[in-house]
Structure 1
Amino acid sequence: MNRFMEVLENILMPVADKLNNNRYLTALRNGFMVALPLIIFGSIFVVIANFPFLDQWLSEDAYATYKSILDPASASTLSIMGLFVIIGIGYKMVEQRGGEAIYGGVVAVAAFLILTPKVVEGVSGAIPTALLGAEGMFLGIFTAFFAAEIYQYFVKKNLTIKMPAGVPDAVSRSFSALIPITLTLTIFLAVRVIFSYTPFETVQNFIYTIIQEPLTALGSGLPATLIAVLLIQVFWFFGLHGQIIVNSVFDPIWYTLNDQNLAAYQAGTDLPNIVTKQFMDTFIVGIGGSGMTLAVIIGIFIIGKSRQLKELGKLGAPAGIFNVNEPVIFGLPIIMNPLVLIPWLVAPVVIALITYFSMATGIVPKPVGVIVPWTTPPFISGFLATGNSVAGGLLQLFNIGVVFLIWWPFLKIMDKQYYEKEKNAAA
């Protein structure tokens, strides 16, 4: 066991360290965090607008009016979430380099809009909202990276207008950013013109055909999902925040799949994807945090005899209900503890399989695309994520039971060890 852990540590620690410190992945992660409040706002109103049985309680006209009042909340946030992510990435990219971060955000979104075709059903001058959401997400991410880097390059080359002393600071900053922004956006305009002479016609078509479509298909599959789940657990075992590391890579794919489900849900058509951001956040992470440790806390209350585990249960329970599990991760402990390695790695993989096949067979509805706040307690979050379906909540409760059974023998061993130590210490 020690040799196995040593090999894993030697292989994974350097990789995890590089991923954690990669400025592009850091900007990507933080860019999504900038957009998160807006995404949650839109998700809340999607849930309210599609509350169960409202279409039966209200008349057809009243229900249509009710929907028309609430729909702009999601249309102005969730449907164009890519735009907010782009701003966040551009902002964070320039902020990392000590530059004027706000100009990183605006140059990123301006560059993206330059590359975006402005034709909707033959009408010019209109931007298709689909390109500001799922379809445009990948292009938006790459555009934000490149635009921020190019802008910062011109700034570092001192291609700026220096205003004399006494000029208001806001005016001075604006003129200082003028030339770098102009040169950056000119490059993206040239890119747009070049692509107009290719078979793809637009950069969007190129990105979607060559990159986004294959990656999205891969990320929506069960094998890639299981690998992602397993990596989260392995990184956490070695003391690294597995979710941050893995989500930095997979979030663009999962959010795209999420957005596709949301569009289908709002249109009343079949949901295309099982694996989405909410599949991961609600049915795996959303059961007490990474590793679904709410079941571990329940197990501690049922079988715990040692004082250490009993105190841990009392400390961890309130936080665990809201999917915060640092007390368990550091108090059990889980990090570098060979006694918990097997259940820690196995349980999330088993739950991912159960959840996937429950949804694939239609026993439980697929996630509808709403972003449920990660602190929402189990059952409630499952109910909301599946379009107000009780089956979603019941699946979470069932999963808690499965995780409890997997952990049971290992908790018994650990509790026995702690109990014997406490007895010997008292003696």
Structure 2
Amino acid sequence: MNRFMEILENILMPIADKLNNNRYLTALRNGFMVALPFIIFGSIFVVIANLPFLDKLIGEDAFASYQAALGPASAATLSIMGLFVIVGIGYKLTEHYGAEAIYGGTVALASFLILTPQTIDFVTSNETTEQVSGVIPTSVLGAEGMFLGIFTAFIAAELYRFFVQKNLTIKMPAGVPDAVSRSFSALIPITLTLSVFLVIRIIFSYTPFNTVQNFIYTLIQEPLTALGSGLPATIIAVLLIQLFWFFGLHGQIIINSVFDPIWYALNDQNLAAFQAGEELPNIVTKQFLDTFIVGIGGSGMTLAVIIGIFLIGRSRQLKELGKLGAPAGIFNVNEPVIFGLPIIMNPLVLIPWLVAPVVVALITYFSMATGIVPKPAGIIVPWTTPALVSGFLATGNAWQGAVLQAFNILVVFIIWWPFLKIMDKQYYENEKSAGEDRNEATNM
């Protein structure tokens, strides 16, 4: 194992050092750090608002009122977290160039909003659909629009910096207040940058896609419709969920929109057979994915990652992330880990992020195919139900389901362990170096 760790470290650490100095990846990482407090706040209230089986305890009407009261906490943070990330990336990248960072953040946000459709489809009481203008759908402001938001922030910040460095600015005379001078200095670069994105929006409005968002999702979703059910399609679906998340796209939204009709139909077949006391026909169902893969800490099964952080973490960054991510992770809310580790665009985690869920899907499938573990009974378990409990319930109150989840957590931990060690070592050395620099500055 030590030899394996040494080889892995020799391969990954030089790559990590180079990537650590890449201005775009640095801006991306720091941009997510800007959004992290809002993400954690929203994640906590998602858990509180969706406590499993609470509706059975207090009644459906009281539960609906309870959720309505807590809903704004996540709606104003987690649901629109893409906006915070965009501002953070634009700010940090512009700051790297020594330009006025606040304008870099705001021009990135405005550029993204220009590309964002400002209409929604509203279903009336007569069940007719009407298009309402002047409204921005919140779905594109969250994880669903993250991919476009990241690259919009990069391009907007670069354009703003380019126009500033070309001295395309308004020079105010001496004696003008500094805030006014900076505002006029940013006027032309911001105008030119936003004009570029306005032209892009206009061009797309004359295409069959209509918007940039539709262009991206059409290219991704249409090839997926050719896939069916079964183990090969399931492995492809799991792999694509992970891959989309790595690039900042909400993998579950994309994949579920294609596969949910298939998975729910298979789920219903199992439920009917379970209620009739017959043999369950399907292994792959909605609960196969939701309980035994996503239901172990969220996408990527990051509950095992949090456990690994507590066991091996030395760096302050990972320790604090573990403390913040654990309460939400128990209830399968893992945005703190995805954006705090981070997962997105982090080459150090790409291998375990892609491999672990695929391995677990194979283990789960063959455990059920051989009869070691009962197949999912078609029972829809609330998605915030903690692991072990959810496995027990999803398999029709079979203890083997809980044991399988525990085993899957162990498998994910083993796959992640060497990569977490390397990441923790990198963070620890960076923190140690930063501390030494501060001490030297203090002594001087």
Q: Is 1:153 the equivalent of 2:192?
A: no
Correspondence for 1:353: 359
Correspondence for 1:72: 72
Correspondence for 1:195: 204
Correspondence for 1:186: 195
Correspondence for 1:328: none
Q: What's the CA shift string for 1:107-158, capped at 9, x where partnerless?
A: 0110111111111111111111111123322111111111111011001111
Say if 1:261 and 1:273, in contact at 8 Å, map to a contact too: no
**Cα distance between partner residues in 2 of 1:320 and 1:395:** 29
Q: What's the CA shift string for 1:286-323, capped at 9, x where partnerless?
A: 1122xxx73xx8xxxxxxxxxxxxxx9xxx9xx69957
Q: What's the CA shift string for 1:143-191, capped at 9, x where partnerless?
A: 1111111011001111111222222222221111111101100111111
2:149 is matched by which residue type in structure 1?
G
Correspondence for 1:36: 36
Correspondence for 2:441: none
**Cα distance between partner residues in 2 of 1:35 and 1:384:** 32
Q: Is 1:257 the equivalent of 2:247?
A: no
**Cα distance between partner residues in 2 of 1:23 and 1:257:** 29
Say if 2:209 and 2:215, in contact at 8 Å, map to a contact too: yes
1:156 is matched by which residue type in structure 2?
Q
1:275-424 alignment runs, 5 A limit: 278-280=298-300, 282-289=302-309, 294=311, 322=322, 353-354=359-360, 357-358=363-364, 362=376, 398=407
1:229-244 alignment runs, 5 A limit: none
Q: With structure 2 as the length reference, what TM-score do the two structures score? A: 0.58
Runs of 5+ consecutive residues of structure 1 not aligned to the other structure: 230-245, 298-311, 325-344, 371-379, 407-427
1:50-199 alignment runs, 5 A limit: 50-121=50-121, 122-199=131-208
State the SS of the aligned residue for 1:120: strand
Say if 1:381 and 1:393, in contact at 8 Å, map to a contact too: no
**Cα distance between partner residues in 1 of 2:59 and 2:3:** 68
Alpha carbons of structure 1 residues 227 and 112: separation in structure 2 relative to 1, 3 Å? closer
Say if 2:38 and 2:78, in contact at 8 Å, map to a contact too: yes
**Cα distance between partner residues in 1 of 2:30 and 2:389:** 25
Say if 1:258 and 1:278, in contact at 8 Å, map to a contact too: no
1:29 is matched by which residue type in structure 2?
R
**Cα distance between partner residues in 2 of 1:367 and 1:94:** 46
More divergent stretch after superposition (187-196 vs 205-214):
205-214
Alpha carbons of structure 1 residues 384 and 87: separation in structure 2 relative to 1, 3 Å? farther
State the SS of the aligned residue for 1:136: helix
1:128 is matched by which residue type in structure 2?
P
Q: What's the CA shift string for 1:5-34, capped at 9, x where partnerless?
A: 897677545533332222222222222221
Say if 1:261 and 1:272, in contact at 8 Å, map to a contact too: no
**Cα distance between partner residues in 1 of 2:378 and 2:358:** 13
Alpha carbons of structure 1 residues 100 and 85: separation in structure 2 relative to 1, 3 Å? same
Runs of 5+ consecutive residues of structure 2 not aligned to the other structure: 122-130, 228-232, 265-285, 325-350, 369-374, 416-444
Q: What's the CA shift string for 1:332-382, capped at 9, x where partnerless?
A: xxxxxxxxxxxxx99x96787337754996599999888xxxxxxxxx985
Q: Is 1:205 the equivalent of 2:214?
A: yes
Say if 1:94 and 1:152, in contact at 8 Å, map to a contact too: yes
Q: What's the CA shift string for 1:11-61, capped at 9, x where partnerless?
A: 545533332222222222222221121112111111111112221222333
1:136 is matched by which residue type in structure 2?
G
**Cα distance between partner residues in 1 of 2:211 and 2:412:** 48
Alpha carbons of structure 1 residues 162 and 105: separation in structure 2 relative to 1, 3 Å? same
Say if 2:118 and 2:134, in contact at 8 Å, map to a contact too: yes
State the SS of the aligned residue for 2:186: helix
1:286 is matched by which residue type in structure 2?
I
1:145 is matched by which residue type in structure 2?
F
Say if 2:90 and 2:106, in contact at 8 Å, map to a contact too: yes
State the SS of the aligned residue for 2:307: coil
Q: With structure 1 as the length reference, what TM-score do the two structures score? A: 0.60
2:298 is matched by which residue type in structure 1?
Q
Say if 1:284 and 1:352, in contact at 8 Å, map to a contact too: no
**Cα distance between partner residues in 1 of 2:98 and 2:156:** 16
**Cα distance between partner residues in 2 of 1:191 and 1:321:** 39
2:111 is matched by which residue type in structure 1?
A
**Cα distance between partner residues in 1 of 2:405 and 2:139:** 32
1:259 is displaced (CA, Å) by 9.4
**Cα distance between partner residues in 1 of 2:86 and 2:168:** 24
Say if 1:119 and 1:128, in contact at 8 Å, map to a contact too: yes
1:261 is displaced (CA, Å) by 7.7
Alpha carbons of structure 1 residues 201 and 367: separation in structure 2 relative to 1, 3 Å? farther
2:94 is matched by which residue type in structure 1?
V
> Identity of counterpart residues, as a percentage?
59
1:64 is matched by which residue type in structure 2?
A
**Cα distance between partner residues in 1 of 2:43 and 2:157:** 29
Q: What's the CA shift string for 1:207-255, capped at 9, x where partnerless?
A: 222368879x99x9758988999xxxxxxxxxxxxxxxx99x92614x5
Say if 2:300 and 2:357, in contact at 8 Å, map to a contact too: no
**Cα distance between partner residues in 1 of 2:321 and 2:120:** 46
